[in-house]
C-alpha cells in the first residue's frame, strides 16, 4: 500500500493506492501536520486519532509526504522520524508542499514553470523541469504569506475593527463570526495554529465576491503577492507560465487573471487540491 499525502497547516489529505494508482481506501483526512508549527507530541496525537491510519499502518510500504513546513531540514527530520515510528514497514519521503504543487500543475514532469501556492499560506518558486528554485526565503505567516487565507483573514479583521468595511459587509461579517476582541486574541496568542484560525475567515471573502469591496481586497492581496513573489522571476516569466495550487487561488481565478494582465505574466493551470496529480505522478513513476 502506498500513501500519498498532501498536508497544509489546516488539513492533511491521505490517499491509499496500489502500484497502478487504484484507490484502496476512502480518502483519509486529518488535521494538518506542519512540523514547523506542531511539536513531535502533537504530530503523534493527530496520527493516533485516525482509526483508518492506525488500522492499516503496518500494510503501508511507501509514503510520499508533501507538506507545509517541510522546506527546512530540522522540521522535516522530526516529521520523518514520527512517520517511521508510526508506519514501521514504510519507506518514507518528505518534501515541501511546493513540490506537490509542481507535480500537480505542470503538464509534464519536465515542464518549466513558476508555481504558486495560495492556500492557508502562500509561496512561489521556479521549477526548471528538474529542480526547484526559490529566490525569497519564507519568514512565515506573520511577515509574509501575501494573498493567502491567513493574509485575507487578517485583512478582514483589521478592516472590521478599523471601520474600513462597507456597512452591509461589516454587519454580515459580524453575524457570521465571533469577533469579540478577547476571543480573537485568545485564538491568535493562546491557541495552536493561529495561521489556520486566520485562514478560516477567508471563506467569507469567497462567499461575498460580488461585493466591490471584497473584489478589490482580493486583487490588492494578489498584486502584493505578484510584486513580492512572482515578479522575482521576471526573466523566466518571458518564456514560462505561472501555475497555481490551493483553494484561495482556485476560487480567485478571475482576479488572478486580471492582475496577470496588469503585470504582464501568463497564467497556466489551477489545481485546488494537488493530491490527484500526485497519485498519477508517483504511480507512473513506479
What is the pLDDT at residue 275?
A: 83
- What is the three-class DSSP state of 190? coil
In a domain, 213, yes or no: no
Stated length of the chain:
286
CATH of the domain at 41: 3.30.420.40
Average pLDDT rounded to a whole number, residues 267-275:
91
Average pLDDT rounded to a whole number, residues 193-220:
96
In a domain, 30, yes or no: yes
Query: Alpha-carbon distance 272 to 247, whole Å?
Result: 5
What is the pLDDT at residue 58?
A: 96
**CB-CB contact of 62 with 2 (8 Å):** yes
Average pLDDT rounded to a whole number, residues 210-235:
97
For the ranges 116-120, 139-143, 151-155, 178-182, the lowest mean pLDDT is seen at 139-143
Name the average pLDDT for the chain: 93
Average pLDDT rounded to a whole number, residues 128-155:
93
Kindly state the cell numbers that stand for 219.
486583487
Residue 148 has pLDDT above 60, yes or no: yes
For 232-264, what is each residue's pLDDT tens digit?
999 999 999 999 999 999 999 999 999 999 999
What pTM, to 2 d.p., does this model score? 0.80
Average pLDDT rounded to a whole number, residues 123-143:
91
Residue 280 has pLDDT above 70, yes or no: yes
In a domain, 24, yes or no: yes
In a domain, 139, yes or no: no
Domain count for the chain, please give it: 1
In a domain, 217, yes or no: no
In a domain, 242, yes or no: no
In a domain, 222, yes or no: no
What is the pLDDT at residue 136?
A: 92
Number of Cβ within a 10 Å radius of residue 90 = 19
Domain residues for 32? 2-101+274-285
- Give which of 18, 113, 29 is closest to 61, Cα–Cα: 18
For the ranges 4-8, 14-18, 158-162, 257-261, the lowest mean pLDDT is seen at 4-8
What is the pLDDT at residue 286?
A: 46
Residue 26 has pLDDT above 60, yes or no: yes
In a domain, 63, yes or no: yes
Average pLDDT rounded to a whole number, residues 35-52:
94
Query: Alpha-carbon distance 234 to 252, whole Å?
Result: 23
Which DSSP string do the residues of 248-274 spell out, in sequence order?
Answer: HHHHTHHHHHHHHHHHT--EEEEES-T
Q: How confident is the model at residue 284 (pLDDT cuts 50, 70, 90)?
A: low
What is the pLDDT at residue 11?
A: 85
Amino acid at each position: 500500500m502506498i500513501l500519498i499525502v498532501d498536508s497544509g497547516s489546516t488539513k492533511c489529505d491521505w490517499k491509499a493506492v496500489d502500484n497502478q494508482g487504484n484507490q484502496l481506501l476512502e480518502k483519509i483526512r486529518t488535521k494538518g501536520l506542519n512540523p514547523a508549527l506542531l511539536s513531535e507530541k502533537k504530530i503523534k496525537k493527530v496520527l493516533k486519532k485516525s482509526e483508518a491510519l492506525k488500522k492499516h499502518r503496518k500494510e503501508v510500504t511507501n509514503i510520499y509526504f508533501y507538506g507545509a513546513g517541510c522546506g527546512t531540514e530540522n522540521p522535516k527530520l522530526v516529521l520523518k522520524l514520527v512517520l517511521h515510528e508510526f508506519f514501521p514497514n514504510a519507506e518514507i519521503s518528505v518534501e515541501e508542499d511546493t513540490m506537490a504543487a509542481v507535480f500537480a500543475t505542470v503538464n509534464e514532469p519536465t515542464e518549466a514553470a513558476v508555481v504558486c501556492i495560495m492556500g492557508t499560506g502562500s509561496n512561489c518558486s521556479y521549477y526548471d523541469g528538474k529542480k526547484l528554485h526559490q529566490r525569497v526565503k519564507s519568514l512565515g505567516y506573520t511577515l509574509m504569506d501575501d494573498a493567502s487565507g491567513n493574509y485575507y483573514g487578517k485583512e478582514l479583521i483589521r478592516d472590521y475593527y478599523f471601520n474600513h468595511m462597507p456597512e452591509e459587509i461589516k454587519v454580515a461579517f459580524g453575524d457570521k463570526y465571533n469577533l469579540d476582541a478577547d476571543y480573537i486574541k485568545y485564538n491568535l496568542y493562546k491557541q495552536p495554529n493561529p495561521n489556520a484560525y486566520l485562514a478560516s475567515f477567508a471563506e467569507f471573502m469567497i462567499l461575498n465576491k460580488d461585493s466591490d469591496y471584497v473584489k478589490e481586497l482580493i486583487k490588492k492581496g494578489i498584486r502584493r503577492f505578484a510584486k513580492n513573489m512572482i515578479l522575482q522571476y521576471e526573466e523566466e516569466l518571458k518564456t514560462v507560465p505561472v501555475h497555481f495550487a490551493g483553494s484561495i487561488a482556485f476560487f480567485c481565478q478571475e482576479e488572478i487573471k486580471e492582475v496577470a494582465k496588469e503585470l504582464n505574466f501568463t497564467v497556466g493551470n489551477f489545481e485546488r487540491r494537488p493530491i490527484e496529480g500526485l497519485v498519477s505522478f508517483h504511480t507512473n513513476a513506479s
